[in-house]
Amino acid sequence: MSAPRRPWLISRVGRKTFVGAGVVSGLIVVTVILSVLGGGESAIFDPAAIDTSGLDGETLFAASCARCHGSNLQGSQFGPPLLDDIYRPAHHPDAAFISAVRIGVRSHHWSFGNMPPIADLSDRELAAIIQFIREIQEDAGVE
Ligand code: HEC
């Protein structure tokens, strides 16, 4: 095996890739921070620890999520059933729900397309929605 004739070419390509990856991950971090700050809400919180008294998770879910996920989480032509086993807490913890709503979801498990970020929900409202989803999941044995 002889050494590559122009080794500097390899290292230049390597450096470009490295810088490129740095720029891309930097942009992702900035986007995430901006989208979270833009909503004026904290990034990740524990929905179970939030006082949601006076809020009705079912009504909030119906207004913001049901047109794609179905009023009973059964899914629709626009989105997957949140009763699917992959959405159980061990596989999609509450943080995944918060991130889905705040940042959106790039289509990866299904072929419905991307989920857009859902605007105008406070942390308390989102907590009430997640509590509602977990209740229905539990009733359906998705836990
Ligand atoms: C415009 C349609 C639409 C609306 C409205 C919508 N979703 Fe989604 N959601 C989707 C689609 C499509 C996917 C599946 C993406 C994929 O292929 O994995 C998804 C996936 C998810 C996931 C899984 C995220 C992951 O990490 O895989 C969660 C959790 C979720 N939605 C919660 C919600 C909640 C809560 C609301 C209401 C606040 C909501 N969605 C509103 C379309 C929607």
- For residues 40 and 27, which has the higher predicted lDDT (pLDDT)? 27
Architecture of domain 48-140: Orthogonal Bundle (1.10)
- Average pLDDT rounded to a whole number, residues 98-117: 97
Distance 94 CA to ligand 1 centre (A): 13
State the DSSP code for 115. Answer: B
Is the Cβ–Cβ distance between 86 and 97 less than 8 Å? no
Distance 51 CA to ligand 1 centre (A): 24
Q: pLDDT tens across 29-84, in order? A: 655 555 555 554 557 899 999 999 999 999 999 999 999 999 999 999 999 999 99
What's the one-letter identity of residue 2? S
State the DSSP code for 141. Answer: T
Chain mean position to CA 126: 13
Q: Could you give the percent of the chain with pLDDT greater than 90? A: 69
- Average pLDDT rounded to a whole number, residues 97-105: 97
Quote the pLDDT of residue 123: 96
pLDDT of 119 over the 60 cut: yes
* The model's pTM: 0.78
Distance 80 CA to ligand 1 centre (A): 7
Residue 115 exposed, middle or buried by CB count within 10 Å (0-12, 13-18, 19+) = buried
Domain ranges, ordered by start, for the chain: 48-140
Q: Which residues are paired to 79 by β-bridges?
A: 76
Check if 62 has its Cβ closer than 6 Å to any atom of ligand 1. no
Check if 105 has its Cβ closer than 6 Å to any atom of ligand 1. yes
Quote the pLDDT of residue 43: 76
Name residue, tokens 């979270």: 36
Check if 115 has its Cβ closer than 6 Å to any atom of ligand 1. yes
